[in-house]
Amino acid sequence: MYKIIDGKNIAAELRRIIKGEVEQIKTERGISPKLVVVLVGDDAASQIYVRNKERACAEVGILSEVQRIPSTIKESELIEQVRSLNNNKNIHGILVQLPLPKHLNEIGVLNEISPDKDVDGLHPLNMGKLLKGEDTKFIPCTAAGIMELILSTGVELMGKEAVVVGRSNIVGKPTAILLLKKHATVTICHSRTRDLGEVTRRAEVLIAAVGRPAIIKENMVKDGAIIIDVGMNRLGEKLVGDVDYELVKNKASFITPVPGGVGPMTIAMLLKNTLLAVKQKTD
């Protein structure tokens, strides 16, 4: 019988802990943690994500500011905006909401964020340290959240065969590195992997993060696998994952739902990183 990994409850407990630490920093050091989100354009999904981040910040006592910028902004102007946030001592975390309009170079813009304020964990210095196994200031939020969900099962990862379906810099690659750090044996697949099911059927831990609705079918899953579904795909009014949940769940030992699995954890880890930015600055 499968067990649901309840990301909503785990994230709520994390927010409770973070709220206590934020209050302590305010009382003992007189510092109010602050996160600035830069939102370029009017992408509908991005608007929803940003509102959720604002609500989460308010819940734990982190100040949040959303800088809404027209999609027509020039890249040089956006970079100057990011640099001005870097120089503001009252701002502890900076997040540039992705995706950016197509005329803007995402990598170029993200690289301008100070590594000390890079709460999304996407600056090459932080990503490079993660890859090398060094202590890094920030881990990409979704990847960090995925690991918290896996660890909540109590299953020992050492020696387990893990498969990550997806190779993005935000999810797939950092998740694979974090699994390696826990001594799992890791395979990375993607949308162009031949005989994908042949690979995923070996997985004792399966992370689906390719962004294709129900790409993981029942016959692609090993009995008793831990399944983490990162997909957030809209089919009309319905939000579905990368896993065919209703058919796959009965083969799993643990599985995350969509929604209510990885999504709340991503925001919780963003709050945790923002708090960490304050701690590292003041310790």
3-state secondary structure of 276: helix
Residue 224, Cβ neighbours under 10 Å: how many? 11
Strand order in the sheet with 185-189: 3-4, 252-255, 225-229, 205-208, 161-165, 185-189
- How far from 58 is each of 64, 209, 271, CA to CA, in Å? 7, 29, 10
Distance between CA atoms of 44 and 65, rounded to whole angstroms? 18
Distance between CA atoms of 22 and 100, rounded to whole angstroms? 31
Distance between CA atoms of 147 and 127, rounded to whole angstroms? 16
Torsion (CA) 172, 175, 176, 182 in degrees, nearest 10: -170
Distance between CA atoms of 120 and 262, rounded to whole angstroms? 15
Does residue 53 carry a catalytic annotation? yes
**Which are the contacts of 104, defined by CB distance < 8 A and separation ≥ 6?**
40, 73, 75, 78
Q: Residues 34, 81, 97, 229: which is the catalytic one? A: 97
Distance between CA atoms of 161 and 139, rounded to whole angstroms? 22
Does residue 81 carry a catalytic annotation? no
Does residue 47 carry a catalytic annotation? no
Q: Residues 116, 118, 120, 244: which is the catalytic one? A: 120
Catalytic residue positions, numbered: 53, 97, 120
